[in-house]
Structure 1
Amino acid sequence: MKYWKYYLVAIGVILLDQAVKLIVHYNMEMGMPGEIKLIDDWLKLHYTLNPGMAFGVELGSSYGKLILTLFRLVAMFGISYYLYYLIKHQAPKGLLWCIGLILGGAIGNLVDSTFYGVWFDNAPYGSSTPWFHGQVIDMFYVDLWEGIIPQWVPILGGQPMSLWPIFNVADSAIFIGVVLILLNQKRFFGTHPEPESHRSVEQQQGF
């Protein structure tokens, strides 16, 4: 459990994230017609698909989606190993919980982009695509402001825009993990005790 309890956090995030996405996919109409108000007009459930990264940023080439999914796959293994490394080196527990959240969020969105294009025909909606080309399901919409950018604004002038992006449980887990790490940098990345195995070897050698 010294190791697995932090990976169980990631598994919990994945299960919750996928459960919410499945409920939204099978019970909500996409876009504004299916929008559900949770708290007045500023917190809503809004079923939408994200073809790219955070904020809908996409890679330009025809292989952009595949490259993005493969990058997420590599990142998943990298974060998993990093969590193992931190556990072995007795990093602060708060940092380990945060990395567990980030790992769960990364895998949650990886499931969408790997499988959803085939399972749910959702890239774009209603059309099947190969493996690794699915779109991520987003649903939480904090509607702080939505409208048309004034024409005098360079580049974005005249375009519709909302002040806050639509996100999902996986995005929330990543965001919370990253923010907590940034707020606790000194405590998380200060001097940590060395693993017990290293200390015992040094003692035997007379250091």
Structure 2
Amino acid sequence: MNFLSHYYFDRNVNNCYHILGTVLPDLLKNADKTIVLHPEKLHHSNDDINCIIAGWNKHLAVDRYFHSSDFFNIHSHQLKKLLLPAIEGSPVKPFFLGHVALELIIDNLLLTTGKILVDDFYAHLDGCKTEIVAEFLAFAGLKDDSRFFKFFDDFKSSQYLHTYAETHQITYALKRICMRVWQNPFTPQHEEQMNGILEGYRSLLLPDFMSIFTEIEAKLD
């Protein structure tokens, strides 16, 4: 799941470090895909750092349940099939495209149906002290945190997750993610065709998209 979908499960939690932990694995991956940390079983004397670890573990559990669900398997496969002819000649792997497109559509639906407020999410991230986050990263084994904090500061200041509420921006967000792997993933023609497909699939998911959150919440309890 993407950032806002992870936040949904803990939207009523008031601890900013726990909220950070629920999205930190993806933040690190986006900052530098070579970063690999496994703090799952660590315990620190500082409760704030333990809250980050608890949030991290929640992230792993949510992703595990999501990626093993019928919802994910069915809809990511359908999106892959629909998008494949629209991106003919693109270097992007079809499975990757279906996977990420589904997650972006779900984030869009959470925002546009008022299930979460993106300003609340960013407020939690802004509430985390840099020294606490740095201590967690060092404790988890990261020797150089400079690339992460550069990305994290840009992530917070740009607040680009607001654009997920605009349905026509789903393709742009998908392109941004693909550009981390492929230099020129799509032509303007690709993007135009993808827009129509993604908007149509969003409408298809709208009536019942919350079923996946209900399913995962039941497994988390």
How would you bin the TM-score normalised by the shorter chain?
A: under 0.3
Tell me the TM-score normalized by structure 1.
0.27
Higher relative contact order (CA 8 A, sep 6+): 2
Larger radius of gyration: 1
Q: Choose between structure 1 and 2: higher strand proportion.
A: 1
Tell me the TM-score normalized by structure 2.
0.26
